[in-house]
Structure 1
């Protein structure tokens, strides 16, 4: 039987550590932002905020559908954190479908053969490392975004003296 080493939890480059850092940053964000509605209509980037101010004197500001406000970004980060902590099963279960119905539906969607073709088994290590690198990158970016959102909120409400 394989045992998990406690050294992996202390390794700053472990996946578990990266996940914990993101969850801690998201929890800090959630604890700091007492009134999330203050984030509505606040541009995500500070440069965008200065552009909106200069465009107020002109006709219509250019519309960017990709631009999210800080409130939407806050909700996105909270949702990702909840999915990481509780898994996707909770989201599917809250849609009103019972666990048994989901299991039956998933079973019906599975192909009849349970074994992977030989080609797929050979490439599993490559696929694993590809997705692991992607997961590290995404979690690191999400952690930075949660910290940025927290610090920006503190600046906007006048709590800039307490930034970490």
Structure 2
């Protein structure tokens, strides 16, 4: 079960990284995103697509650079203070967030293409 969760999380991270990199490669002029409102203003009140772009890029870089060092035992296994149920709860939340970030990256890329008049 833990291997399945690990594989699923790895897949979610890879999908997000791919979507965010695609976004970065497409958005050659991030300043064009200034003052373009986000579709869902409920979560980021008053923010534009430029703010969203900066956030998504920073999250990708943090994920790939690994800001949080792993706590390893002498035998190389990662230690955890979570019970199985608590771990699953946090894992599910992280997976949900990664999926949302992937979707945001894809939407932002599509909107940028629309701004430039690029066919999708």
Do the two structures share a fold, i.e. TM-score over 0.5? yes
Q: Offset at 1:132?
A: 0.4
Separation in 2 of the partners of 1:15 and 1:143? 13
1:24 maps to: 18
RMSD: 2.5
1:41 maps to: 35
What is the count of residue pairs matched by the alignment?
104
1:109 maps to: none
How do 1:1-164 residues align onto structure 2 when only pairs under 5 Å count?
Answer: 14-45=8-39, 66-88=45-67, 124-159=83-118, 161=119, 163=120
1:103 maps to: none
The CA deviation string for residues 106-140 of structure 1, in whole angstroms up to 9 with x for no partner, is xxxxxxxxxxxxxxx6x621210010000110000
Q: Offset at 1:157?
A: 1.1
Q: Offset at 1:89?
A: 5.4
TM-score, scaled relative to structure 1: 0.58
Separation in 2 of the partners of 1:128 and 1:25? 26
Q: Offset at 1:67?
A: 2.3
The CA deviation string for residues 54-79 of structure 1, in whole angstroms up to 9 with x for no partner, is xxxxxxxxxxx822100000000001
Q: Which runs of 4+ in 1 moved over 4 A?
A: none
TM-score, scaled relative to structure 2: 0.77
Q: Give the structure with higher Rg (CA).
A: 1
